[in-house]
Amino acid sequence: MVCNLCNGLVQFVIRHDKNKRFRFAPMQSPSGKRILAQIGETEPDNTSVYVRKNRILTRSSAALYIARDLGGPWTLAYPFILVPGFIRNAVYDFVARNRFKWFGRREQCMVPSQEVDDRFLH
């Protein structure tokens, strides 16, 4: 099963990433598995990962840096980086645990169209 929240956030980033800087990899793909192995992640379904300037960010840090790097009004979320990580990640984990109940699920991830397929790592 695939999370509607995660799927929706990927589509949101694609729509708002005017410079096409972001690339995506399903955690189950070879690229995703390599990154997860680097960070020793054992629960990939509950983790967002953002590789930024050769630094691997996860969970709330990944989300906040993605918002920052999208630019525009999304950068207003970035000051939450000042909140201690254990608090931010507790909120992140709470949402992750409840995402199926709140946002639903689907059978499969979106299939990238030809226009965005080059933005996905395989």
Average pLDDT, 10 consecutive residues per value, the chain (122 residues): 82 92 85 86 77 92 96 96 98 93 82 83 76
Q: Indicate the domain borders of the chain.
A: 2-119
Report pTM: 0.86
Of 61, 65, 60, 82, nearest to 21 by C-alpha is 65
pLDDT for the residue 44: 65
